[in-house]
Amino acid sequence: MRELDLGQLKTFCAVVELGSFSAAAARLSLSQPAVSLQIRRLEGHLGTRLLERLGRRVTTTAAGAELLRHASAIEAAVQSALEAVSEHSNGAVGRVRLGTGATACIYFLPSILRDLRARFPGLEITVTTGTTTEMLALVAENRIDIALVTLPVTGRTFDVSPILTERFLAVGPADGDSFPTVVTPQFLVGRPLVLFEPGGSTRRLVEAWFSAADLSPAPIMSLGNVEAIKELVGAGLGYSILPGMALRQTESRRWVSRPLSPKLDRTLGLAVRGDKPRSRALREVISAFGRWQDSPCS
Domain ranges of the chain: 6-72, 91-163+267-294, 165-266
% of the chain with per-residue pLDDT over 90: 65
Statement: the pTM of the whole predicted model exceeds 0.85: no
How far is residue 72 from each of residues 15, 18, 32, 68, 146, measured CA to CA in Å?
14, 16, 23, 7, 14
Strand-strand pairing, 240-243 and 221-223: unpaired
How far is the C-alpha of 184 from the C-alpha of 76, rounded, in Å?
48
Q: How does pLDDT run across 194-250, given as a tens digit for each residue?
A: 999 998 899 999 999 999 999 999 999 999 899 999 999 999 999 999 999 998 755
- What pLDDT does residue 298 have? 42
From the options 2.40.50.100, 3.40.50.2300, 3.40.190.10, 3.40.50.920, give the CATH code of 165-266. Answer: 3.40.190.10
How far is the C-alpha of 185 from the C-alpha of 181, rounded, in Å?
13
Domains 91-163+267-294 and 165-266 share a fold: yes
CATH of domain 6-72: 1.10.10.10
How far is residue 192 from each of residues 216, 219, 270, 274, measured CA to CA in Å?
13, 6, 34, 44
- On the question of pLDDT at 140 being above 60, the answer is yes
Residue type, 249: Q
How far is the C-alpha of 266 from the C-alpha of 39, rounded, in Å?
45
Q: How does pLDDT run across 78-102, given as a tens digit for each residue?
A: 877 776 676 555 555 688 999 999 9
How far is residue 36 from each of residues 6, 30, 145, 162, 271, measured CA to CA in Å?
15, 10, 29, 45, 36
CATH of domain 91-163+267-294: 3.40.190.10
Residue type, 99: G
